[in-house]
Amino acid sequence: MFRGTYRLAMVFALAALVPVLGCADTSNFVDNDGGGDTQGVPPNLDGLESIRIEPADAVLELKDENPVKQAYKAFGKFRDGSEREITTAVTFGVLDPSIGVFKSAEFVSGTKRGGKTEVEVDSATGVRATTSVTVIYKRVFVTGTAPADVAKRFEGPDDPSTSNELVYPADGVLIPPNLLELEFQWKPGAGFVFFELSLKNAGTDIRIYTQCETVGVGCGLTPSENLWSTIVGSLRGAEAVDVTVRGTDQGGTRVGTSTSRKLLVAEEDVQGGLFYWNAAGSIIRYDFGKPKQKPTLFYSAPQAKALFCVGCHALSRDGKRMAVGLDIPAPAPLKVIDVASRTEISAGAANFMSFNPDASQIITSDGNSLVLRDSTTLAVIGKEPLVANGTMPDWSADGQTVVYAFDEQAIPIPVGNPGVSQGSLMLIRNDATNGSWSAPATLVKSSGKNNYYPTFSPDNQFVIFNRAAGSSYDAPDAQLWLVKAQPNSAPVFLANANGQGDLGNSWPKFSPFVQKYKGRRLMWVTFSSRRDYGLRLSGDGRAQIWMAAIEPYKDDLNTDPSYPGFWLPVQDINTGNHIAQWTETVVKKPCVKNEDCPTGEFCESGICEPKVQ
């Protein structure tokens, strides 16, 4: 049988698996009837010693929206030395049904992606054989003003002296499949006017022909919505593709090729809501569950009745409440608001804050100490302060632990401290049975370094934080580090996510869900960074929201578990953007008519929704 009981499980569970796999053509999932033609008597397999499969290691090209098919035959070699066809007496199957399935002895591919998988033939006698089948998802697109015959111009000789330089995205980046868009950016070789962007792996051959759309000192290509959907659909959960840019001149007399970079697409969409602060003084909201919606202005200084701006903010995991600081952190005036209606629930003062899981309590800090409060009234709960020297708290998703920064210099600033200079990270644990708190335990000792802005992973097992040499306030050398949420654990430097040099990688925050990627656990983290965004922001130093994938369980933190970062295309590139905060759900205002909704939103099925792009 096919991998023993695995074959039977695959056959009868295929219909249930289709929504999980998300990649396979559902019309291809049919029960294998045990070997094709049911007319006549199957060959006798007595004395069967081995099986040969034809074709061996087949390579098929999927060039349109119709499945590609391949008939297979099986030949048995017997003890008497003879070989004869046994196709109707054996069972055909594949290891990865997202690439295709067998209908009797005919392989039928899916239509949205390619790849390589194992073909297996099983017999009732226990003799089996394997080969491979590779389906190449092949597509050619011509965009912009490039002529229809542009591909022919790339048949000229290769010119190694003139090449293109890929600038963005970074090599080895992993992106979520519902990323709104991705711009490919490169510096063109001298005299090149036409370009071929290719994405290739064993099962993908996508080529996009275009002319240069000027981006800074080079070129950029942002695939259209339909084209991007095609690319993502073919790469979701697949092996990395090599991204390469080739260029040629007007007459196609010579061709220059860039070095390639790897690009990967995750299996699962990112979910949840993102709220970030822009330097224009407002909070912007984006719903990852509805990727075609525009980011919208959520809360502004006039709405909050602030003098200048709204800025530092924290959200409850359920998305129902927000704590937001106004104007200058000395400490900043604080409002707790109902997210759906944007109405004020309570008011006070704080520079940093964090809600417990059900948003009934909030820990606030003026930068000097931690105070536990009722989130509806901001009344103090228990002793004041909860921690005498503590700031930048973050409450774990299970409600059991709070991580915070402890300044070893211990010089309180009476008017409110906006940062720390020699921070250690500390843990305190809550006993839910009696509401008591443990004594602080050291998570990461300063040892001359400044550790700050800690935040828990969604499974409570890790803490990501910043490290810098000096003050935490807008530190140009801020870096991202990860540590197990256990006292005195050894932190690991996230080299891939950090990039090269002093980039001001600050305010890291995990998205609220753990996902799966190739059988491993995957998490996403956002952070603000002053790095170049390819050629669009080069040497500018403007803070933008970046995102990176992290696999914290991959090697028990013995090696860097992060991937390179990518620019989040849900932000205004013209403003400085910081402090991206996440919620599990984007809570929106109920409505009856459009007039009930904030500017830029409309009433849809009783809920205020942002306008679709």
In a domain, 612, yes or no: no
Looking at the 3D structure of the chain, how many domains does it have?
3
* Residues 396 and 462 grouped into a single domain: yes
Total Cβ atoms within 10 A of residue 226? 9
- End-of-domain residue from the set 232, 265, 298: 265
Total Cβ atoms within 10 A of residue 141? 17
Three-state SS at 302: helix
Contact 57, 116 (CB under 8 A): no
Contact 97, 109 (CB under 8 A): no
* Residues 127 and 165 grouped into a single domain: no
* Residues 131 and 174 grouped into a single domain: no
Angstrom distance (rounded) from CA 539 to CA 167? 14
* Window from 228-242, 282-296, 570-584 with minimum mean pLDDT: 282-296
Banded model confidence at residue 30, pLDDT cuts 50, 70, 90: very low
Banded model confidence at residue 25, pLDDT cuts 50, 70, 90: very low
In angstroms, what CA-CA distances link 30 with 10, 105, 309, 523?
Answer: 10, 12, 60, 35
Range of the domain at 212: 143-265
* pLDDT value, residue 3: 45
In angstroms, what CA-CA distances link 330 with 299, 346, 370, 411, 501?
Answer: 21, 19, 15, 15, 32
Q: Looking at the predicted structure, is the pLDDT value of residue 153 above 90?
A: yes
Q: Looking at the predicted structure, is the pLDDT value of residue 417 above 90?
A: no
| Model pLDDT for residues 376-414, shown as the tens digit of each residue | 999 999 999 999 999 999 999 999 999 999 998 766 666
In a domain, 547, yes or no: yes
* pLDDT value, residue 411: 65
In a domain, 127, yes or no: yes
In angstroms, what CA-CA distances link 62 with 70, 115, 145, 342, 569?
Answer: 12, 11, 27, 51, 31
Q: Looking at the predicted structure, is the pLDDT value of residue 35 above 50?
A: no
Angle at 426 between CA 273 and CA 565, to 5 degrees: 40
Give the pLDDT mean for 322-344. Answer: 91
Helices (H) and strands (E) in the chain, counts: 4, 47
| Model pLDDT for residues 98-128, shown as the tens digit of each residue | 999 999 999 999 999 999 999 999 999 999 9
* pLDDT value, residue 613: 52
Banded model confidence at residue 277, pLDDT cuts 50, 70, 90: very high
Q: Looking at the predicted structure, is the pLDDT value of residue 31 above 60?
A: no
In angstroms, what CA-CA distances link 224 with 149, 169, 181, 183, 566?
Answer: 20, 17, 8, 10, 19
Q: Looking at the predicted structure, is the pLDDT value of residue 39 above 80?
A: no
| Model pLDDT for residues 191-235, shown as the tens digit of each residue | 999 999 999 999 999 999 999 999 999 999 999 999 999 999 999
In a domain, 613, yes or no: no
Give the pLDDT mean for 366-370. Answer: 92
- End-of-domain residue from the set 135, 151, 184: 135
* Residues 37 and 147 grouped into a single domain: no
Q: Looking at the predicted structure, is the pLDDT value of residue 576 above 60?
A: yes
In a domain, 14, yes or no: yes
* Residues 431 and 364 grouped into a single domain: yes
Domain with residue 235: its CATH number is 2.60.40.10
* Residues 93 and 188 grouped into a single domain: no
* Residues 353 and 483 grouped into a single domain: yes
Domain with residue 27: its CATH number is 2.60.40.1080
- End-of-domain residue from the set 135, 161, 183: 135
Banded model confidence at residue 600, pLDDT cuts 50, 70, 90: confident
- Relative to beta strand 128-142, strand 204-211 is parallel
| Model pLDDT for residues 297-320, shown as the tens digit of each residue | 999 999 999 888 888 899 999 999
Domain with residue 337: its CATH number is 2.120.10.30
* pLDDT cut 90: percent of the chain above it: 80
* Window from 105-114, 267-276, 415-424, 473-482 with minimum mean pLDDT: 415-424
* Residues 515 and 581 grouped into a single domain: yes
| Model pLDDT for residues 457-488, shown as the tens digit of each residue | 999 999 999 999 999 988 999 999 999 999 98
* pLDDT cut 70: percent of the chain above it: 92
Write out the two tokens for 7.
């074959």
* Residues 118 and 163 grouped into a single domain: no
* pLDDT value, residue 412: 60
Q: What helix, strand, coil percent values describe the chain, rounded to 5?
A: 10, 45, 50
Q: What is the mean pLDDT of the chain?
A: 90
In a domain, 283, yes or no: yes
Banded model confidence at residue 40, pLDDT cuts 50, 70, 90: low
* Residues 290 and 254 grouped into a single domain: no
Q: SS in 3 state form for 32-73?
A: CCCCCCCCCCCCCCCCEEEEEEECCCEEEEECCCCCCEEECE
User: Which residues is 601 bridged to in the sheet?
Assistant: 610
- Relative to beta strand 128-142, strand 58-62 is parallel
Among 195, 185, 205, which Cα is nearest to 154's? Answer: 195
* Residues 550 and 422 grouped into a single domain: yes
Three-state SS at 88: helix
DSSP summary character for residue 282: E
Contact 203, 275 (CB under 8 A): no
* pLDDT value, residue 176: 97
In a domain, 256, yes or no: yes
* Residues 597 and 533 grouped into a single domain: yes
